[in-house]
């Protein structure tokens, strides 16, 4: 499963970081999903192999402009490129109101349907897409805001050899057909269904992508068994203290400490205030965020960059590959 960051800046774009958007592609699949869609996301997509024609669903964490102002343009361009396949839009109710208001006031006619799904309904009832299932958890950010837990659906099968042996099914090509899920007749004339003899070869990969949030502990239930948490670290503690407010955001320290408490193995930070710059010696710097997080989290820590690609492999480990 590949995570491709399209925007990693908080609030406003900078020369090197666009506003929030993250693409998720399941292994070997051409369908993909988008989490948040700040202004300029369609321009960022032109710098990747992804096409809006293959986009299956868009998840919006919350209604703030830096997370959704790229949506009308993305939809309009997909329509002009001939898309006819319906697109699933998941988010707070405000996202639906926003899109309906924009399409009405600007006369935007899409050549495909939008299937709106209220993110609140996915807290208890997961949404099943082609390659993933998705649940939500409510966060704290002033406006209605969500984290999305995305779990892969199609885990390779291994054979339940113990059961086959116990039932006296003779090893041979028939075992391979059962592993592929076929229904077969064995030497003894028994009809055997592959579904009864298949076991998942491993646990499914699971990642949580959170919206803006000042209360990391709200993520505890949804982060159980997660391989990776992607979360904002808009500020360092020093800047929050200097500003006198966290503006509904987490510091690097707070989200890192949560990840440590929750026993997470891997944490990706993103959504950095534009005040943190990347060139050496600058103050404050992105390296301040990195250092503050490392002081509180002993697992694998990564800081997102625009167009960075991370691979969550079948062994549940996250590697940066681009």
Residues at the contact surface with a copy of itself, assessed by CB under 8 A: 11-15, 18-19, 38-40, 42-43, 46-47, 63-66, 68-70, 72-73, 76-77, 80-81, 94, 97-98, 101-102, 104-108, 143
> For a copy of itself, which is the closer residue by CB, 108 or 300?
108
Judge contact between 226 and 208, C-beta under 8 A: yes
d(CA 207, CA 271): 17
- Give the active site residue among 36, 66, 131, 290: 66
DSSP 38: -
Least distance from a copy of itself to the Cβ atom of residue 100, Å? 8
| 140, burial (CB in 10 Å: exposed 0-12, middle 13-18, buried 19+) | middle
> For a copy of itself, which is the closer residue by CB, 18 or 266?
18
Sequence ranges of the binding site: 62, 64, 66-67, 141, 212, 271
Query: If we measure between CA atoms, which residue out of 255, 261, 154, 160 comes closest to residue 205?
Result: 154
- Beta bridge pairs of residue 169: none
Sequence ranges of the binding site for Zn(2+): 62, 64, 66-67, 141, 212, 271
Least distance from a copy of itself to the Cβ atom of residue 139, Å? 16
| Sequence-distant (≥ 6) Cβ neighbours of residue 105 within 8 angstroms | none
Least distance from a copy of itself to the Cβ atom of residue 309, Å? 19
H-state helical runs in the chain: 41-45, 65-68, 71-80, 93-106, 161-166, 173-179, 220-223, 237-243, 252-261, 286-294
DSSP 235: B
- Is 246 a known active-site residue? no
Least distance from a copy of itself to the Cβ atom of residue 40, Å? 5
> For a copy of itself, which is the closer residue by CB, 29 or 43?
43
> For a copy of itself, which is the closer residue by CB, 70 or 216?
70
> For a copy of itself, which is the closer residue by CB, 228 or 240?
240
> For a copy of itself, which is the closer residue by CB, 76 or 265?
76
d(CA 109, CA 88): 17
Judge contact between 310 and 268, C-beta under 8 A: yes
Least distance from a copy of itself to the Cβ atom of residue 106, Å? 5
Judge contact between 88 and 117, C-beta under 8 A: yes
As given in the structure block, the two tokens for residue 135 are 């649940």
d(CA 26, CA 11): 29
Mutual orientation of helices 93-106 and 71-80 as an angle, nearest 10°? 60
Q: How far is CA 173 from the centre of its chain?
A: 39
Least distance from a copy of itself to the Cβ atom of residue 25, Å? 21
Active-site residue numbers? 66
């Amino acid at each position: 499963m590949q995570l491709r960051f399209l925007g990693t800046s908080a609030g406003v774009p900078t020369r090197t970081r666009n506003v929030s958007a993250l693409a998720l592609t399941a292994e070997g699949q051409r369908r993909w999903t988008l989490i948040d869609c700040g202004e300029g996301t369609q321009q960022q997509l032109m710098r990747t192999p992804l096409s809006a024609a293959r986009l299956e669903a868009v998840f919006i964490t919350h209604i703030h402009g830096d997370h959704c102002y790229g949506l009308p343009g993305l939809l309009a361009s997909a329509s002009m490129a001939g898309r006819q396949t319906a697109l699933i839009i998941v988010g707070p109710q405000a996202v639906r109101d926003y899109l309906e208001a924009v399409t009405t006031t600007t006369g935007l006619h899409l050549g495909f349907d939008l299937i709106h799904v209220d993110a609140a309904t996915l807290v208890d009832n997961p949404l099943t897409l082609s390659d993933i299932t998705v649940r939500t958890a409510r966060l704290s950010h002033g406006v209605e805001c969500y984290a999305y837990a995305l779990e892969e659906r199609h885990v390779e099968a291994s054979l339940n050899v113990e059961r086959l042996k116990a039932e006296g099914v003779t090893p041979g090509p028939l075992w391979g057909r059962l592993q592929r899920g076929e229904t077969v007749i064995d030497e003894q004339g028994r009809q055997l269904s592959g579904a009864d003899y298949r076991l998942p070869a491993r646990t499914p990969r699971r990642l949580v992508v959170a919206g803006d949030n000042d209360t990391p502990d709200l993520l505890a239930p949804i982060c159980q068994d997660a391989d990776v948490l992607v979360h904002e670290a808009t500020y360092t503690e020093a800047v929050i203290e200097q500003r006198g407010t966290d503006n509904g955001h987490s510091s690097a320290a707070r989200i890192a400490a949560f990840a440590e408490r929750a026993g997470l193995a891997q944490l990706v930070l993103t959504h950095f205030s534009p005040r943190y710059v990347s060139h050496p010696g600058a103050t404050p710097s992105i390296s301040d965020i990195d250092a503050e997080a490392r002081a509180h989290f002993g697992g694998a820590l990564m800081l997102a960059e625009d167009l960075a690609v991370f691979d969550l492999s079948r062994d549940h480990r996250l590697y940066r590959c681009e």
